[in-house]
């Protein structure tokens, strides 16, 4: 297979290498330097402003709960399945539940390489598992993970993987007791940011299915698999801001915490009707029917593919390149700390066009 070519033969040369993404880091810091100069900030003050972000890559191997040693190397390649169906969207944006199930089944077979749907689901869940499906509902009834996707995954876990219904819990930010209790604190390295996870993730869950919706966030940022876990902690507001030293580093570090990194079995990004600009609030002018799901075991690779889908739509809408710079930085940093693969040469992209 030629570089930058998906299994169905379609090219995706729009993907950038990590070297090209690194150039975006340099450009963004240059812009920050100009802003600092305009504000009368001297060089020492400017360097102090950048220090937290710049130092993160050198200290990540030493922080508790982070990727260390051999764990800091993502797999050689990560498989991502993009499954689409022309009839998944029905009247007024509603979706067709049987088609959603068919799409999930097809994606799981392609992802796992198993010969049957049952065996594919059994690679995700087992009878003794406690499965948490972390969805996203903060965008309201029209900009959230479709409930039909959540329900289809839960039903197939029960029917095919024999997971007990009472041991499957679908949650977003509201977590029922006793699972809502907070863990011991975790400290992220870049900013010394402390956060507490719900004990649902640290003490109870044995498997996590990360199920966000695909959307742009604050213009240059991305709301997908990595940002979805801001709904799993006690202080999401302290993370916000797409400056280079903030969410582009803090979100990968959050997802690299052991409970998320080790327990995530599956990522399903709802790309049925993505939001390609603005965000986090809905804007019908920036929605379109992509009619797809992005499925992987690698949250970085799934998000990287979602990012390119959004950037391709943005370029088509504007008639020129319209990059999501902060999101690109987040992807590059996530790969650099060993969380997963962002470089397209390390992503085995499978397109399954149904219908």
Can you give the C-alpha Rg of the chain in angstroms?
Answer: 20
Go through 220-229 and write b for each residue having 16 or more CB atoms within 10 A of its CB, e for each that does not.
bbbbbbbbbb
Strand partners, 5: 11
pTM of this structure? 0.82
- CA-nearest of 331, 343, 296, 74 to 222 is 331
Q: Give, in order, the Cα–Cα distances in Å from 230 to each of 155, 205, 279.
A: 26, 17, 16
- CA-nearest of 207, 264, 199, 203 to 232 is 199
Average pLDDT in the 74-86 region?
93
Q: pLDDT at residue 159 above 80?
A: yes
Kind of pairing between the strands at 264-275 and 292-296: antiparallel
d(Cα 87, Cα 177) in Å, to the nearest integer? 39
Q: Which residue has the tokens 């202080």?
A: 235
Average pLDDT in the 100-120 region?
98
Cis peptide before 280 (omega within 30 of 0): yes
Domain boundaries, the chain: 18-353
Max intra-chain CA distance, the chain: 64
Is 74 or 1 the better-scoring residue by pLDDT?
A: 74
In this prediction, residue 140 carries a pLDDT of: 81
Q: pLDDT at residue 8 above 60?
A: no
Q: Read off the pLDDT of residues 272-318 as tens digits, 9 standing for 90 and up.
A: 999 999 888 899 999 999 999 999 999 999 999 999 999 999 999 99
Alpha helices (H) in 271-343, listed in sequence order: 299-318, 325-336
CB count within 10 Å of CB 54 equals 16
- CA-nearest of 83, 104, 116 to 152 is 104
Q: For residue 208, give the H/E element and its range.
A: strand 207-211
- CA-nearest of 208, 190, 188, 214 to 304 is 214
d(Cα 261, Cα 56) in Å, to the nearest integer? 19
* Residue 45: half-sphere exposure toward Cβ, Cα within 13 Å: 9
Q: pLDDT at residue 79 above 90?
A: yes
| Local confidence band at 17 (pLDDT 50, 70, 90 cut-offs) | very low
């Amino acid at each position: 297979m030629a570089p930058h070519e998906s299994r169905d033969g379609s090219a995706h040369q729009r993907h950038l290498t990590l070297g090209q993404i690194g150039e975006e880091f340099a450009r963004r810091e240059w812009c920050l330097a100009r802003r600092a100069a305009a504000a009368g900030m001297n060089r020492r003050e400017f360097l102090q402003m950048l220090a937290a972000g710049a130092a993160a890559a050198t200290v990540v191997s030493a922080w508790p709960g982070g990727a260390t040693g051999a764990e800091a190397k993502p797999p050689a390649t990560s498989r991502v399945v993009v499954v689409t169906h022309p009839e998944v969207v029905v009247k007024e944006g509603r979706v067709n539940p049987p088609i959603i199930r068919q799409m999930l089944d097809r994606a799981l077979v392609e992802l796992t390489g198993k010969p049957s749907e049952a065996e594919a689901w059994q690679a995700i869940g087992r009878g003794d598992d406690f499965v948490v499906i972390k969805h996203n509902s903060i965008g309201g009834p029209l900009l959230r993970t479709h409930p039909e996707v959540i329900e289809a995954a839960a039903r197939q876990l029960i029917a095919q993987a024999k997971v007990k219904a009472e041991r499957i819990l679908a949650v977003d930010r509201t977590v029922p007791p006793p699972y809502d209790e907070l863990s011991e604190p975790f400290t992220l390295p870049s900013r010394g940011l402390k956060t507490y996870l719900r004990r649902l993730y640290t003490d109870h869950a044995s498997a996590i299915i990360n199920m966000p919706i695909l959307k742009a966030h604050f213009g240059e940022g991305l709301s997908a698999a990595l940002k979805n876990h801001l709904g799993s902690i006690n202080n999401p507001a302290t993370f916000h801001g797409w400056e280079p030293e903030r969410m582009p580093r803090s979100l990968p570090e959050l997802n690299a915490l052991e409970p998320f990194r080790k327990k995530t079995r599956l990522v399903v990004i709802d790309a049925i009707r993505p939001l390609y600009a603005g965000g986090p609030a809905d804007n019908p002018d920036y929605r379109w029917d992509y009619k797809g799901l992005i499925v992987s075991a690698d949250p970085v690779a799934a998000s990287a593919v979602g990012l390119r889908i959004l950037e391709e739509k943005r370029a088509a809408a504007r008639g020129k390149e319209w990059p999501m710079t902060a999101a690109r930085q987040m992807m590059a940093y996530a790969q650099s700390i060993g969380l997963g693969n962002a470089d397209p040469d390390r992503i085995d992209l499978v397109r399954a066009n149904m219908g």
